[in-house]
Chain A
Amino acid sequence: SQTIHQWPATLVQPVGSPLSLECTVEGTSNPNLYWYRQAAGRGLQLLFYSVGIGQISSEVPQNLSASRPQDRQFILSSKKLLLSDSGFYLCAWRDKQGRQPQHFGDGTRLSIL
């Protein structure tokens, strides 16, 4: 069966520091991968999605970037964090053939001080 892993689960970072959040999927190949941000008490904002290695689409301009160095690995990064980057970050995957709905990881809670 397929599983999705995100880490770390929680992270506290100072303003101006770099960021790297990692997401990996197991049990499937060539999935579509997604990064969402959820502000406190708010809905899901799609940040990036990827249909393949090295292919990244950005949905909103921001201080963050994403990369997909391997088929089942998706990384969210920032060179310099802002206070507004605080939130709950969720990774998700779907198979391209539409055989399954979208599945989410358990998220990373990022607090910027």
Chain B
Amino acid sequence: GENVEQHPSTLSVQEGDSAVIKCTYSDSASNYFPWYKQELGKGPQLIIDIRSNVGEKKDQRIAVTLNKTAKHFSLHITETQPEDSAVYFCAAGVYNYGQNFVFGPGTRLSVLP
């Protein structure tokens, strides 16, 4: 089955700097890679996703890159703000038929003012 690793487990950056979180997956059949942001006491919320037919996707200050050959994908947050502080989860799986995704263990991002 799929196995997803995520690094680093914690990350502290100064406000305005960039943050990068990296994930690797094991199952070459996976074709969908969402990223979730979880704020304290809340459920994870989808912030960006990418399918295997593209290598990069961007939404304002957030971007995700995918390297299918190496089986890794990354989340990039530019111009970080204090409200970006949260736990971020990556996931991997097959998009069709509502199958379950496998989640990484999470990265706690702290943006210091």
A interface residues (Cβ-Cβ under 8 A, vs B):
6, 31-32, 34, 41-44, 46, 49, 51, 90, 92, 94-98, 101-107, 109
Contact = CB atoms under 8 A, between A and B. Distances in A.
B46 A103 contact: yes
A34 B100 contact: yes
A53 to B, nearest CB: 15
A90 B44 contact: yes
Interface string B17-49: 000000000000000101010000111111001
B37 to A, nearest CB: 11
Contacts, number: 58
> What's the dominant secondary structure at chain B's contact region?
mixed
Interface residues on B, range: 20 to 34
A26 B34 CA distance: 23
B34 A104 contact: no
Contacts of A109: 41
Given A32-B100, A43-B89, 6 more contacts: A34-B100, A41-B108, A96-B97, A96-B98, A98-B96, A98-B97
